[in-house]
């Protein structure tokens, strides 16, 4: 039994057809913190890319985009334990058997429908969060060996900083590929005639689902999210402010 094998609790639709019945209602799925985190994280990732491409004079803004990514990813991970029903990892992560079964159904064109993340989408969330975290954190220790250094470069040796910079640079291409797959999957989902996922991530609602579906959103837990975000941002600010300066004879 995997985390979300009990489809009725996870909000899966058990009908034979790929589409939910037309008589189904509309359910609130994604809370406001999840939606804000999703779109601001996308903006921060794009901003980091653009400020990097614009050159060394935009390095300060590149670093700030990296800070935003770290705070947002850390918040989303914590929200995966403290958030609302469909935001919690235990309610959407599946084991390998369920995920492979879903993939096989998808290839046959008759996948089960999920009110929250489907199994493949759930693991894409984990991959993106982990990849973005690694990308942003390695950037804190990086340097271009000419003008700019990351805010935490004083914690590591010059050689280690260069290795982390290389990892930071190459990891971007893997993340860009994953984002492309994510966007294509959302588009394919729409072309297959299912309810739009982009609209659901804007409004928080999914059409075509019975209102009695498990995990129906009743509150976004806004104050809990605000306090959690402040705590994460404060922790990062503390670490950055108390980081040792790089040695002059190294950089």
**Residue 220 DSSP SS3:** coil
pLDDT of residue 62: 96
Domain contains 3: no
Q: Give residue-wise pLDDT tens across range 70-87.
A: 999 999 999 999 999 999
Domain contains 170: yes
pTM, rounded to two decimals: 0.86
Domain contains 17: no
Domain contains 54: yes
Domain contains 149: yes
Residue of 76, 181, 82, 49 whose CA lies nearest to 130: 76
Q: How many domains does the chain have?
A: 1
The answer to whether 128 and 175 are in contact (CB under 8 A) is yes
Domain span holding position 58: 33-241
Q: Give residue-wise pLDDT tens across range 207-250.
A: 755 544 556 677 889 999 999 999 999 999 999 999 998 765 44
Token pair recorded at residue 33? 């913190």
Please provide the distance, in angstroms rounded to a whole number, between the alpha carbons at the two ends of the chain. Answer: 54
Distance separating alpha carbons of residues 56 and 31, to the nearest angstrom: 38
The answer to whether 49 and 172 are in contact (CB under 8 A) is yes
Distance separating alpha carbons of residues 241 and 92, to the nearest angstrom: 37
The strand pairing partners of 95, in sequence order, are none
pLDDT of residue 179: 94
CATH of the domain at 155: 1.20.950.20
Q: What is the mean pLDDT of residues 33-46?
A: 97
pLDDT of residue 107: 86
Domain contains 173: yes
Neighbours of 160 (CB within 10 A): 12
Alpha carbon of 143 to those of 33, 66, 154, 217: distances in Å? 33, 14, 11, 44
Distance separating alpha carbons of residues 192 and 109, to the nearest angstrom: 9
């Amino acid at each position: 039994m995997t985390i979300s094998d009990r489809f009725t609790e996870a909000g899966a639709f058990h009908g034979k057809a790929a589409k939910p019945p037309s008589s189904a209602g509309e359910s609130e799925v994604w809370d406001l913190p999840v939606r804000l985190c999703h779109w601001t994280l996308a903006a921060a990732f794009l901003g980091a890319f653009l400020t990097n491409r614009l050159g060394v004079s935009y390095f300060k803004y590149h670093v700030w985009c990296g800070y935003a990514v770290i705070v947002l990813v850390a918040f989303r991970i914590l929200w995966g334990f403290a958030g609302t029903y469909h935001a919690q990892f235990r309610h959407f992560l599946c084991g390998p058997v369920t995920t492979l079964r879903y993939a096989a159904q998808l290839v046959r064109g008759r996948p089960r429908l999920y009110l929250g993340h489907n199994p493949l989408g759930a693991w894409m969330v984990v991959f993106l969060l982990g990849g973005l975290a690694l990308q942003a954190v390695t950037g804190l220790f990086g340097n271009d060996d000419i003008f700019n250094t990351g805010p935490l470069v004083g914690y590591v040796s010059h050689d280690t900083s260069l290795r982390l910079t290389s990892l930071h640079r190459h990891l971007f291409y893997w993340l860009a590929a994953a984002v492309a797959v994510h966007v294509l999957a959302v588009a394919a989902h729409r072309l297959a005639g299912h309810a739009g996922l982009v609209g659901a991530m804007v409004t928080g609602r999914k059409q075509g689902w019975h209102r009695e579906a498990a995990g129906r959103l009743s509150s976004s837990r806004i104050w809990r999210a605000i306090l959690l975000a402040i705590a994460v941002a404060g922790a990062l600010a503390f670490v950055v402010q108390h980081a040792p300066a790089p040695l002059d004879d190294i950089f």
